Structure 1
Amino acid sequence: MKLKKSSIYIALALGLTVVGQAHSQQEAQEEKKDKLFEVIEITATKRSESIQEVPVSVSALSGQQLDALGISDNAEITQQIPNFQVNAWSPQLTIFNLRGVSQNNFVDNLEAPIAVYQDESYIASMNAISGQMFDIERVEVLRGPQGTLFGRNATGGLVHYISRGASDEYTNGFVDVSVGSFNRQSVEGAIGGAISDNVRARFAFRHETADGYIEPMAGVPDVDQRAIGGADGYGLRGTIEVDFSDTLLGEFIIKYSKDDDVPTGGYVFENCDFDANELCPVDASGRAIVTGGVVSGDEHKHMNDTRGFLNREVTSLTAKLTKQFDEFELVSITNHLNMDKSYLEDGDAFNAPIVVFGQDTDFTQFSQELRMSGDTDRLKWQVGGYYMDIDMDTDALTIGAPNIDLSFGLFEAGIISAPTVFDDFPFDGRSDREYNLTVENVSVFGQIDYDLADDMMLTAGLRYSKDTKNINWVAFFSSDQQAERIPYAATESNLNVEAASIFNRFADDSIDYSDYAARLSLKKQFSDSTMGFVSWNRGIKGGNWTLSSGVSPERFRHEPEVLNSFEVGIKTELAKGTRLNATTYYYDYDDYQTFVAIPPGEVSPNPQIGNSDATAYGAELELISSLTDNFDMMLGLAFSNSEVEAIQAGASPVLNAEFPNAPSVSGNYLFRYYKELGENTVVFQFDGAYYGDQFLEVTNGPGTLQEAYNISNLSVTYETESWSFSVWSKNLFDERYKAYSLDLGALGATTYYAPPRTSGVSARYEF
């Protein structure tokens, strides 16, 4: 922790502290324990309902559970959610994966099929998701298509972060300070309560720094001497809740976060039998053939010669108005989000400029939702409309090997004077892509829940969605042989470049896309404690463009995807304090969007998106139980099987591949034991997750295989009425495993490894 900043934060929080009426010591401890494993109220249907009553495959973690798990980053929630993973190799991106559905690309203009919401507002950019998580009420994870109520790009599911609001009348808050391995230090706090009879407010913040765990390789020239995998950023959030009248409630949220010069890169190459040109052998599909282990000999050593960084600022403003009428409720949610990001990374694993990648992006998003809802004795209904507008300006650059095919093509066309050949490493060919992307979405939706009988409910929902997208794109090439930037590609709408100087002009620069999402489910209440459901859901995700340096006109645009999902589930309370939820599913995909870095007919890697039909099936089970007054546990188990028909890569397609990040078997566990010491409590917690063999990329290249592994965490916490002190260790057994892998064909497979064992201590004061 930078002590001056931390001292200011602590003094601010403690200075605002006004201690409200306290419970007795025993009551406070019992309340903490009860909240940890209580039945959570969720808003998966945009109504507040018990998680046990909603006919949707959904998992949720309360704020108390997140604290108990020591989770402080948006991407860390996956360990305790069955069939849920994250693809994370860079602090700029968060790519979630539900039941194997994801889009593991790294280009700013693309959107993911797992929709992410924060406080009921959709976040379209994957760059604006990652970051610090603090003062959270709960996180909801909905599996399967959720487009009926939540809209575009919820094909594979939804992740919803709900902040703690400003509803409390009494003054309350907390301060939490933590220090750990790799000089990781953080301070977090919040304070809230009533300002007047009809106005309440809450302020929360978090600041974190860390040195990183991927250290520079000693004795290698030109290596950036900073460690990678750390953090340097802070987040602030202010919330005001106003009772304008007895029937009109206003909630206003402002969020701001900043990341400051966070080191990036840190990849390593998987071993292979290098040839005389230091290239890896490849199979018929262009995938690298590896031999095991990493070239550097240590997964947590890097040889970056380029000083990578992330600078990012995100500001979000949300206004929610809720008006109660006699027969219905009207809700308006307005959000404005802006992200300004500057990013550069050394994309290879050697001290030579083989691949350097960067993006500067200014992203602005506005959305407006209006919905009405009501209910009668047998019917619950809601209807609404949604509007969203996105404007994105991006400058992207790639230096090195991905431009080899491009440079030869420009030479053969007589546009550049001399080619830069593959053997001339360090290769200096550079491509710059500048584009403006605009997106406008308009949709209308409705859903009804109708009681067919006292113990049976039918749900039917429909959403019509229309996307209008326009891309204004121009690309330039330069090198030592051609210092002047040469325009080589543009879309028809780009009027800033003369047509005579363009090597390729892409006419497909607009998308007008409309389709429908739908839901039909039947819920049966077998008893007071057991509910079952069957459902069909149709999810949709629009097409987009591949804006890489070597994209060909026929692969410039990819098609929309449609997912039909069929589910059967059961939710039951086996005994008091013990709940079991289980769901099975079958997925039928039309034009599943696939990401590859080795497209057919090319020597150098170039990220591109294609389409293929696919199918998948699997199941999830969750068991939550308070076995005794002093012992709780959470257990999860997931099964998955998938098949992508044909992926265009290399000289021949990859047939019958698996979804990425989709092990056939995975599981999670948490055991929590309470020991009373007088009026205080000691809590022992052991938790973690197991993942079977899985590929980290849809091409299923051998270099992207991650064999089965287990991650375990341990913590011991001493709790008083207001204080708690914790000693903790994450990845207790120091498991080495891949967080991300990308097959670059003849260049090899490059991998980013997850953190080793990290330990620390935390202190928390609640008032």
Structure 2
Amino acid sequence: MNYRNSLALPLLAMAAVSVQAQQRVLEEVVVTAQKTKQSIQDVPISVTAVDGEFMKDAGISDLKELSVYVPNVRIDANDPGSPQIFVRGFGTNTFNPSFESSVGFVQDEMFFGRAAYFTEAMFDIDRVEVLRGPQGTLFGKNTVSGVFNVFSRPVGNEFSADVELRAGEHGEQRLEAGAGGMLNEWFGVRVSALTFEKDGELENRFLNRDEENPDQEAWRLKLNFLASANTDIELIAVESDTTINYWPKQLANLDADTRDYLDDFDPEIEGDPEDFMTSYNVDGVLEKGSSSYIGKLSHSFGAIGSLYNLDTVVVLGNTDLYVEQDQDLDVSPADIATLLNREDFKQNTVEWRFTGDGEGLFGLGSSMQFVAGVFYFESDYQLDAGVVLGRDVGSWLGTEDARQLAGDDAPLLPGLQLAAATTTNDRFDFDYVQNTKALALFGQMTLNFGDSWVVTPGLRINRETKTIDTAGTERCESTTPLPPASCVNGLLLGANSYDHRDLERKESDVSPKLSVMYYLNDEVNVFATYSKGFKSGGYNSISFTGEDLEFEDENAVTLELGTKGSYFNRTLNLNATLYRTEYDNLQVLAFNGVFFDVSNAATAISQGLEVDWQWLAPWEPLSVIGSLGLLDAYYEEYTGAPAPVTQGVNTRQDLSGEAIAFAPESSFMLSPTLTFALWDEMLNLSVDVIHQGDQFTDTDLDPASKVPANTKFNVRASLLDGDERWNLTVGVKNLTDKLTQNQVVDSVFFPGTYYAQQNAGRQAYAALRLNW
């Protein structure tokens, strides 16, 4: 029996177990967090690695589910087209497509420039590396808060095949399969595919259908050519398509006047955000998909002059992404407004880098390693969106909600009602086209001073240009022979037509990095790292007025103090990092009572602690992994922040010194596993204890948007064949059926009422894995 793999201990920074002289030890884990292969214990930044086997064991289907196992990381993927990713409390709400994600996404060494890729090809995964803090020195662009560095399974030296069948509650069916290997001395292939579907847990009573019911199909092809003993060429093609009923929101905290109005459309209307029931009239849908192609050439020069192990890597990438969605903007059975959204994104990237070793630099250090290269990025993004007013907007204009939003302009409402009665096809359209070009030079050098000191300086020089055409157009048609005096959308939304051409923004940035690591002994080190991050500015793509479009670049400076070590004969790995990050010109998305504006929020601070550990207990059946995140993230200065809409449209407040949204003060994960021999098989019993502290989920820190602290439990049992031919797992996620909100934000048309997104309830599943 192969105990090394049959123990199936998950990898969170250290993962496999081996038996050496009858003693269990944690094996070294190799990552590429610094563009070269090295032990995770030698990387002087806060990084967590999770392997694909653990993701399968735990029934993890996507990066959102994975994020709860990583300290100080949060992913909201309820909107697959605009997921929000937060590291150490900072990220970007990409509901406004102008914003680029503050957390970079890299898969198979290609950087992807839109957050929507976080929800694309998450199958056949080998490992995920989560790098916290600014990573601008080595990775892509706009990685001001961190990077998800994802690797799919490589072409193996020998042919193998695997398939996983998973079934669960709410009609979950997932089939993931892969096969391949080296077919001869110079050529290999791996083909993998995914099909996934699930009934939605959220029932739309008005339309008698489920919302949030994903249906995804994806495939990946990898070709590996060994052109010579020193040259390796890898070609990757991947495609993914997803369709889902949309969008997964419920009304919460209905006040009396809103309930009275909506009762005419649905007598059973209610505002309970935890009953998995919603009621809105637009049969919305979201469709998204991508096609990506990656070419990677690796060549080893060997020794040249004073350098040795000199290698070069060229990574070429091309990708197309589309997102199409229709959604009920009022989330109610009344036909007030619909948001239409069409996005197309095309990207080309080139990265050419060199790595190597040497005997030191100008006499400094006993030895050195370096990475240096150039990165080019170009993308074209097009947005066609529109807010379309529905047939019931006239009756809504007569409500107390409309009068609250109108404020001093309430006397205009009777005129708006008249206009609504005499116009049709009333809408406001957004047309936005953006071309982005970025060129960067980057380099990092690791200098070794004897056996104890390691100093790593790094630098990235980046120049970026954005060219934008943007237009907003109000349109309507008259139901009478006379032309309309005005369109309702212009008056209701405060909108007017505009057309701006050839807007241009040029930015340059220099992002340095410096790490110092000291080895106390062969197994334990301490380190300090200073790094700077940069995220480019841009223009608001969803503006109703065409005014104040531009927002500035965002900058971050981080200092980390940490330790990484193996203890008790390599049966305990413990990594801990203290950090402080200062953000300047923080980019924020703020609700103004009608829609969402983009702006900069002066300065903000994030400081805290991150710990993860793996322990092989003296009692041999028991192994434990865990993580802890402590987070103190707040606005240092934000005097013009939006206030809750209940205080009035466009009301401002001073949030200086207040906590930021999506930043729980604590997060904790503990996962003990018991492993027993059962005849020729192995039985694993695991429990995940996952705690999230309370947090605000809206920028304005409305008390109604605060989600209380909660603790959830996952349990699973796995039976593994001793020859690794099969693995059967049964499990339950959220065992106690703890009901929580993912996000609560202001509603657009009903002040004092909120849109709530509910996290999943209890979910039972079973999975069978077969290997050949």
Q: Is 1:734–1:757's contact at 8 Å kept on the other side of the alignment?
A: yes
Tell me, yes or no, if structure 1 residue 630 matches structure 2 residue 621: yes
- CA shift in 2, pair 1:475/1:202, >3 Å: same
Q: Is 1:531–1:572's contact at 8 Å kept on the other side of the alignment?
A: yes
Task: Read off the aligned partner of 2:320 and give its amino acid letter.
Answer: N
Tell me, yes or no, if structure 1 residue 474 matches structure 2 residue 471: yes
Q: SS in structure 2 opposite 1:349?
A: coil
Cα distance between partner residues in 1 of 2:129 and 2:166: 26
Cα distance between partner residues in 2 of 1:422 and 1:77: 50
Aligned with 1:172 (options 147, 156, 160)? 160
Q: What's the offset of the Cα at 1:132? A: 4.8
Aligned with 2:314 (options 312, 316, 332)? 332
Q: 1:289 maps to what in 2?
A: none
Range moving further from structure 2, 418-427 or 731-740: 418-427
Q: 1:457 maps to what in 2?
A: 454
Q: 2:98 maps to what in 1?
A: 109
Task: Read off the aligned partner of 1:470 and give its amino acid letter.
Answer: T
Q: SS in structure 2 opposite 1:77?
A: helix
Q: Is 1:115–1:153's contact at 8 Å kept on the other side of the alignment?
A: yes
Q: What's the offset of the Cα at 1:246? A: 0.9
Aligned with 2:754 (options 736, 749, 763)? 749
Q: SS in structure 2 opposite 1:150?
A: coil
Cα distance between partner residues in 2 of 1:425 and 1:454: 82
Cα distance between partner residues in 2 of 1:421 and 1:468: 47
Q: Is 1:91–1:264's contact at 8 Å kept on the other side of the alignment?
A: no
Aligned with 1:573 (options 561, 566, 586)? 566
- CA shift in 2, pair 1:196/1:269, >3 Å: same
When normalised by structure 2's length, the TM-score is: 0.85
Range moving further from structure 2, 301-310 or 739-748: 739-748
Aligned with 1:301 (options 272, 277, 280)? 277
Q: 1:183 maps to what in 2?
A: 171
- CA shift in 2, pair 1:212/1:425, >3 Å: farther
Aligned length: 702
Cα distance between partner residues in 1 of 2:185 and 2:28: 31
Q: What's the offset of the Cα at 1:49? A: 0.9
Tell me, yes or no, if structure 1 residue 557 matches structure 2 residue 550: yes
* Map 1:515-534 → 2, pairs under 5 A: 515-534=509-528
Q: 1:613 maps to what in 2?
A: 603
Tell me, yes or no, if structure 1 residue 759 matches structure 2 residue 752: no
Cα distance between partner residues in 1 of 2:274 and 2:38: 49
Task: Read off the aligned partner of 2:16 and give its amino acid letter.
Answer: K
Cα distance between partner residues in 2 of 1:488 and 1:128: 37
Q: 1:651 maps to what in 2?
A: 651
Q: What's the offset of the Cα at 1:171? A: 1.1
Q: Is 2:551–2:599's contact at 8 Å kept on the other side of the alignment?
A: yes
Task: Read off the aligned partner of 2:229 and give its amino acid letter.
Answer: D
Cα distance between partner residues in 1 of 2:342 and 2:170: 29
Q: SS in structure 2 opposite 1:179?
A: strand
Q: SS in structure 2 opposite 1:655?
A: coil
Q: 2:55 maps to what in 1?
A: 66
Q: Is 1:241–1:249's contact at 8 Å kept on the other side of the alignment?
A: yes
Q: What's the offset of the Cα at 1:421? A: 8.2
Q: 1:45 maps to what in 2?
A: 34
- CA shift in 2, pair 1:60/1:279, >3 Å: farther
Cα distance between partner residues in 1 of 2:200 and 2:422: 30
Q: SS in structure 2 opposite 1:64?
A: helix
- CA shift in 2, pair 1:28/1:369, >3 Å: closer
Task: Read off the aligned partner of 1:352 and give its amino acid letter.
Answer: A
Q: Is 1:478–1:485's contact at 8 Å kept on the other side of the alignment?
A: no
- CA shift in 2, pair 1:675/1:348, >3 Å: farther
Q: SS in structure 2 opposite 1:67?
A: helix
What does the per-residue CA deviation read over 1:327-359, in whole Å, with 9 as the maximum and x for residues that have no partner? 321110000001122111223331123442221
* Map 1:190-269 → 2, pairs under 5 A: 190-217=178-205, 223-260=206-243, 262-269=244-251
- CA shift in 2, pair 1:580/1:425, >3 Å: farther
Q: 1:496 maps to what in 2?
A: none
- CA shift in 2, pair 1:572/1:294, >3 Å: farther
Q: Is 2:468–2:503's contact at 8 Å kept on the other side of the alignment?
A: yes
Cα distance between partner residues in 2 of 1:654 and 1:671: 45
When normalised by structure 1's length, the TM-score is: 0.86
What does the per-residue CA deviation read over 1:246-287, in whole Å, with 9 as the maximum and x for residues that have no partner? 111111111011113x1011312221544589799xxxxxxx
- CA shift in 2, pair 1:26/1:523, >3 Å: closer
Q: What's the offset of the Cα at 1:748? A: 3.0
Aligned with 1:594 (options 588, 594, 600)? 588
Q: 2:666 maps to what in 1?
A: 665
Q: SS in structure 1 opposite 2:137?
A: helix
Q: What's the offset of the Cα at 1:110? A: 2.2
Task: Read off the aligned partner of 1:201 and give its amino acid letter.
Answer: V
- CA shift in 2, pair 1:707/1:635, >3 Å: same
Cα distance between partner residues in 2 of 1:181 and 1:485: 54
Tell me, yes or no, if structure 1 residue 163 matches structure 2 residue 146: no
Aligned with 1:364 (options 337, 346, 367)? 346
- CA shift in 2, pair 1:517/1:229, >3 Å: same
Q: Is 1:654–1:699's contact at 8 Å kept on the other side of the alignment?
A: no
Q: Is 1:72–1:132's contact at 8 Å kept on the other side of the alignment?
A: no
What does the per-residue CA deviation read over 1:9-68, in whole Å, with 9 as the maximum and x for residues that have no partner? xxxxxxxxxxxxxxx566763587873764321101001111111111000101222122
What does the per-residue CA deviation read over 1:66-111, in whole Å, with 9 as the maximum and x for residues that have no partner? 1222112232210110001112222323221100011123123321
**Structure 2, unaligned stretches of length 5 or more?**
18-25, 263-268, 305-309, 360-366, 490-494, 643-649
Tell me, yes or no, if structure 1 residue 90 matches structure 2 residue 66: no
Q: What's the offset of the Cα at 1:383? A: 1.2
Cα distance between partner residues in 2 of 1:302 and 1:426: 30
Q: What's the offset of the Cα at 1:428? A: 7.5
Cα distance between partner residues in 1 of 2:486 and 2:184: 63
Q: Is 2:7–2:684's contact at 8 Å kept on the other side of the alignment?
A: no
Q: What's the offset of the Cα at 1:425? A: 14
Task: Read off the aligned partner of 1:175 and give its amino acid letter.
Answer: V
Task: Read off the aligned partner of 1:255 and give its amino acid letter.
Answer: V
Cα distance between partner residues in 2 of 1:425 and 1:375: 76
Cα distance between partner residues in 1 of 2:341 and 2:415: 28
Q: What's the offset of the Cα at 1:609? A: 3.2
Q: SS in structure 1 opposite 2:745?
A: strand
What does the per-residue CA deviation read over 1:574-603, in whole Å, with 9 as the maximum and x for residues that have no partner? 2222111100111111101111112xxxx5
- CA shift in 2, pair 1:688/1:365, >3 Å: farther
Q: 1:498 maps to what in 2?
A: none
Q: Is 2:102–2:145's contact at 8 Å kept on the other side of the alignment?
A: yes
Task: Read off the aligned partner of 1:248 and give its amino acid letter.
Answer: T
Task: Read off the aligned partner of 1:452 and give its amino acid letter.
Answer: F
Cα distance between partner residues in 2 of 1:356 and 1:725: 45
Cα distance between partner residues in 1 of 2:496 and 2:597: 22
Q: 2:295 maps to what in 1?
A: 319
Q: SS in structure 2 opposite 1:39?
A: coil
- CA shift in 2, pair 1:528/1:116, >3 Å: same
Aligned with 2:6 (options 17, 20, 29)? 29
Q: SS in structure 2 opposite 1:717?
A: strand
Task: Read off the aligned partner of 2:473 and give its amino acid letter.
Answer: F
Q: What's the offset of the Cα at 1:229? A: 2.1
Q: 2:387 maps to what in 1?
A: 398
Task: Read off the aligned partner of 2:707 and give its amino acid letter.
Answer: Q
Q: SS in structure 1 opposite 2:340?
A: strand
- CA shift in 2, pair 1:425/1:753, >3 Å: farther
- CA shift in 2, pair 1:297/1:639, >3 Å: closer
Q: Is 2:93–2:99's contact at 8 Å kept on the other side of the alignment?
A: no
